[in-house]
């Protein structure tokens, strides 16, 4: 493409305003920058993902605990679910205001070196993108391009091609009314979190799961336990495939392979996510993708095939997690500013949580992974209900599972299911990140009695190590 075919040239183009929007700090004040965002500022996490879903999950926790408190000697109920008030708190009072403020800031006088483009962007040549600005098509280029374009929901063809409405995480939280019946297709993170939210708020939830377990990627012990809990709480159809959708009055009829059908007010598709790399015409810029469709980058976040192109977050990362995208953003930002002192993308010990009820949190290797890697493992499964605060909770399902190496005394993995799992796991993340032996973590500090954290202490003490392990 000739230089005359380009409307504007920049030092840096940033494609996407999730974690990518955090790149331009004061260190870039002398750079000309274009930010391209066809959707809402803030990306998936702020608008459609981890932030609003957790705000809904908090409300769901309160409702669910009220409805299930009789075992504690309290008979309670939820008198009314004000769906629109919940939405107003989440979106009007928080999410939408932040998204709007972020865009206004980038378009305003405080960042005069930044131009904002709002059309869908595709590559048309190396480091050159066709996009739009205010409805006017524009072609822009740059010395450096950061692709932080995120991911999208994978929709099975039988559903996508049906011509019948379905929902994804992008719009299900903004439904005008709370559905009485909801079918959720999928058994992963998103499916399980929304199942909890809608069931707790009074919706009849049916889960359609292809396999025989939910959250199959987790440690087998945790996956089996949450599967049992889900099967008791929801109508879960295991080994089920969707053959199509039909309109059914004001609702939807879900056709299953084998001939059965389920009628519902709404259908939520939560069958995984895929990189938006497939929508960017990367081949026009000589940008390689991985076998699973992600923009291919090296250990520093650089394209493996195109000079001056970087990527971060869901579009390129194997970890579809906001805290990973943020960490990758910090590394890529450093690398843009310090090309002679590159930092690697931090992909070790990536933790994750699922805000179901009960919560799930995990970090490191599963038991099977540790064995497959050749470790001589020691494992401890500690029930919440065996510690004093577990008695207070009257908990019968919570568990901490630790996987460690017998010879070194180091933790290899931690897997929690139960109240506050996403918070409790952080002591274990810290120990693994800073190479603290399990025995030192257990006995080198006080553990408040009778706090719930004692379940971590007891799990650590239950690990069996070789003599002298962890003393180096």
Instruction: Provide the residue-wise pLDDT of the chain in tens; the chain has 472 residues.
Output: 655 689 999 999 999 999 999 999 999 999 999 999 999 999 999 999 999 999 999 999 999 999 999 999 999 999 999 999 999 999 999 999 999 999 999 999 999 999 999 999 999 999 999 999 999 999 999 999 999 999 999 999 999 999 999 999 999 999 999 999 999 999 999 999 999 999 999 999 999 999 999 999 999 999 999 999 999 999 999 999 999 999 999 999 999 999 999 999 999 999 999 999 999 999 999 999 999 999 999 999 999 999 999 999 999 999 999 999 999 999 999 999 999 999 999 999 999 999 999 999 999 999 999 999 999 999 999 999 999 999 999 999 999 999 999 999 999 999 999 999 999 999 999 999 999 999 999 999 999 999 999 999 999 999 999 988 877 6
Distance CA 315, CA 290 (A): 11
Distance CA 179, CA 171 (A): 13
DSSP state of 212: S
CATH 3.50.50.60 correct for 3-152+274-337: yes
157-271 matches 3-152+274-337 in CATH topology: yes
Judged by DSSP in three states, 466 sits in coil
Tokens read off for 113: 């070196």
| Per-residue pLDDT, 3 | 57
Residues 15/146, Cβ–Cβ less than 8 Å: yes
Place of tokens 């889900």: 230
Distance CA 356, CA 418 (A): 9
| Per-residue pLDDT, 344 | 98
| Phi, psi for residue 227 in degrees, rounded to 5 | -65, -45
Q: What angle do CA 128, 132, 135 make, to 5 degrees?
A: 165
Q: Is 449 a catalytic residue?
A: yes
CA-nearest of 440, 369, 442 to 400 is 442
| Per-residue pLDDT, 267 | 98
Residues 335/314, Cβ–Cβ less than 8 Å: no
Residues 7/13, Cβ–Cβ less than 8 Å: no
Distance CA 332, CA 311 (A): 8
| Cα atoms found within 13 Å of the Cα of residue 191, Cβ hemisphere only | 28
Distance CA 178, CA 270 (A): 18
Task: List the domain boundaries for the chain.
Answer: 3-152+274-337, 157-271, 358-461
Longest dimension (CA), the chain: 76
| Per-residue pLDDT, 471 | 77
Residue ranges of the alpha helices (H) in 68-187?
83-87, 96-107, 157-160
Residues 356/192, Cβ–Cβ less than 8 Å: yes
CA dihedral (345, 297, 324, 95) in degrees, to 10, reads 130
Q: How far apart are the first and last CA of the chain?
A: 61
| Per-residue pLDDT, 468 | 86
Whether the bond into 452 is cis, omega within 30 of 0: no
Judged by DSSP in three states, 446 sits in coil
* Fold (topology level) of 157-271: FAD/NAD(P)-binding domain (3.50.50)
The superfamily in CATH containing domain 358-461 is: FAD/NAD-linked reductase, C-terminal dimerisation domain (3.30.390.30)
Task: Give Cα separations from 443 to 117, 365, 427, 460, 466 (angstroms).
Answer: 56, 23, 13, 9, 17
Place of tokens 């030192």: 440
């Amino acid at each position: 493409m000739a230089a005359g075919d380009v409307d504007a040239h920049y030092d840096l183009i940033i494609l996407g305003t999730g974690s990518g929007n955090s790149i331009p700090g004061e260190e870039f004040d002398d750079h000309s920058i274009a930010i391209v965002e066809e959707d809402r500022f803030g990306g998936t996490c702020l608008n459609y993902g981890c932030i609003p879903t957790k705000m809904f999950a908090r409300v769901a926790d309160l409702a669910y605990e009220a409805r299930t408190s009789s075992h504690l000697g309290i008979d309670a109920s939820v008198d009314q679910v004000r769906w629109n008030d919940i939405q107003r708190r989440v979106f009007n009072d928080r999410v939408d205001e932040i998204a709007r403020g972020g865009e206004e800031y980038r378009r305003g006088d405080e960042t005069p070196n930044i131009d904002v483009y709002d059309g869908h962007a595709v590559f048309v040549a190396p480091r050159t993108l066709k996009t739009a600005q205010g409805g006017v098509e524009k072609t822009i280029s740059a010395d450096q391009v950061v692709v932080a374009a995120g991911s999208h929901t994978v929709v099975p063809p039988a559903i996508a091609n049906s011509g019948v409405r379905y929902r994804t995480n992008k719009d299900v939280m903004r439904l005008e009314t709370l559905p009485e019946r909801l079918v959720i297709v999928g058994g992963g993170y998103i499916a399980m979190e929304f199942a909890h939210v809608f069931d707790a708020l009074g919706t009849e939830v049916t889960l359609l799961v292809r396999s025989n377990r939910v959250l199959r990627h987790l440690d087998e012990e945790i996956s089996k336990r949450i599967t049992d809990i889900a099967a008791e709480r929801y109508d879960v159809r295991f080994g089920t495939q969707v053959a199509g959708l039909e309109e059914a009055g004001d609702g939807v009829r879900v056709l299953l392979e084998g001939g059965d059908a389920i009628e519902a007010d709404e259908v939520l598709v939560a069958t995984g996510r895929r990189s938006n790399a497939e929508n960017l015409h990367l081949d026009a810029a000589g940008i390689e993708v991985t076998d699973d469709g992600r923009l291919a980058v090296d250990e520093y976040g650089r394209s493996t095939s195109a000079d001056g192109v970087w990527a971060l977050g869901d579009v390129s990362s194997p970890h579809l997690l906001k805290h990973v995208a943020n960490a990758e953003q910090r590394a890529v930002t450093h690398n843009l500013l310090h090309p002679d002192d590159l930092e690697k993308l931090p992909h070790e010990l990536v933790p994750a949580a699922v805000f179901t009820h009960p919560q799930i949190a995990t970090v490191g290797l599963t038991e099977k992974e540790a064995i497959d890697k050749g470790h001589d493992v020691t494992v401890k499964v500690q029930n919440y209900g065996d510690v004093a605060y577990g008695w207070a909770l009257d908990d019968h399902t919570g568990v901490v599972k630790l996987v460690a190496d017998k010879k070194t005394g180091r933790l290899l993995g931690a897997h929690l299911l139960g109240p506050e799992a996403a918070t409790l796991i952080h002591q274990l993340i810290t120990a693994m990140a800073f190479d603290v032996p399990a025995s030192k973590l257990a006995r080198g500090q006080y553990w408040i009695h009778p706090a719930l954290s004692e379940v971590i202490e007891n799990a650590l003490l239950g690990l069996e190590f070789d003599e002298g392990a962890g003393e180096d």
